[in-house]
Amino acid sequence: MEKIIDLTLIQLASAYIFVVILLVIVKIKGIAREKEILIGSIRMTLQLILVGYLLSYVFENSNPFYTLFIIAVMEVFAVFNIYKRVKKELSLKLKKVIAFSIVVGTLVGQFYFVLVVLRISPWFEPRYFIPIAGMMIGNSMTGISLGVERLLDGFISKKNLVESALMLGATPQVASRDIVNSSFDAAILPTINSMVGMGIVFLPGMMTGQILSGISPLIAVEYQIAIMLGIVGCVSLTVFVFVQMAYKTFFNKYCQLNI
């Protein structure tokens, strides 16, 4: 195995020239984003440093409670990030569906991947479980965010069509089928596009990191294929659970549209 390149503080600091370039560009263009870029860069740096120290401790002190606690924190942040991303007002029922779908969907995907695909022992090994959970939760969070937006837009823009279908005797499931299918499609499209372009258009971060650390590209490819398939399955399951439950929150007990 080749020697790993250990970046010095000076080398790492030199990478921030790209942030400076971005600041110069937005300044020239007159785009008022300087504050957001600076805050984002500082937050990213501090958060990653904190996570680095935290993971170093957790990796050295493998414990199922540590692993499950970190996963729980990630799930909670994912749920609240979805609430924050969606600009429209969410009903309490819809918020519950969002939380339920992302927690159940991602946990099922994570445990299947760890226990069946990787067959890690012990199952709670944080060096594997936490990074995998992060990728699956992050992609599922993006998927549900897109699904929520499309679902809300669909019921608002097609309200008359849904109500007409209900008056003609259609069930809520049939009346909202096109909206639900469109929401599912919009939610999984970014994941599908990533899968299509992977390997030719770009090399994913995990695979690049493994190659830079000295691992054989063929081994890195094997892991990346497995991870990508796991992400696709996890996002699909999470979004499917969401859309199948979410559309029901737009109807009352009398099968009337309540928006």
The pLDDT of residue 153 is: 93
CA-CA distance, 238 to 78, in Å (whole number)?
13
Q: What is the mean pLDDT of the chain?
A: 88
Task: Specify the higher pLDDT residue, 7 or 242.
Answer: 242
Give the model's pLDDT for residue 234.
93
For residue 118, give Cα distances in angstroms to 20, 65, 256: 41, 21, 47
Alpha-carbon distance values, 64 to 61, 67, 68, 108, 132 (Å): 10, 5, 6, 17, 15
- Domain residues of the chain, as ranges? 1-61, 63-250
Side chain identity, residue 97: V
Q: How many whole angstroms separate alpha carbon 83 and alpha carbon 77?
A: 10
CB 129 within 8 A of CB 70: no
Mind listing the pLDDT tens digit for each residue in 94-124?
999 999 999 999 999 999 999 999 888 888 8
Site of tokens 């499931």: 173
pLDDT digits (tens, 9 = 90+) for 124-174: 899 889 989 999 999 999 999 999 999 999 999 999 999 999 898 889 999
**Cβ 176 vs Cβ 162: under 8 Å:** yes
Which pLDDT score, from 0 to 100, does residue 203 have?
Answer: 63
> Residue 4: its pLDDT value, please?
64
The pLDDT of residue 99 is 95
Residue 210 has pLDDT above 80, yes or no: no
pLDDT over threshold 70, residue 200: no
SS in 3 state form for the chain? Answer: CCCCCCCCHHHHHHCCHHHHHHHHHHHHHCCCCHHHHHHHHHHHHHHHHHHHHHHHHHHHCCCHHHHHHHHHHHHHHHHHHHHHHCCCCCCHHHHHHHHHHHHHHHHHHHHHHHHHHHCCCCCCCHHHHHHHHHHHHHHHHHHHHHHHHHHHHHHHHCHHHHHHHHHCCCCHHHHCHHHHHHHHHHHHHHHHHHHHHECCCECCHHHHHHHHCCCCHHHHHHHHHHHHHHHHHHHHHHHHHHHHHHHHHHECCCCCECC
Report the predicted TM-score, pTM, of the whole model to 2 decimal places: 0.83
Angle between helices 34-60 and 126-157 (to 10 degrees): 140
pLDDT at 213: 66
Residue 167: partners with Cβ closer than 8 Å, 6 or more residues away:
none
Between the alpha carbon of residue 158 and those of residues 44, 173, 177, the distances in Å are 40, 14, 12
Q: Which residue has the tokens 């019921």?
A: 155
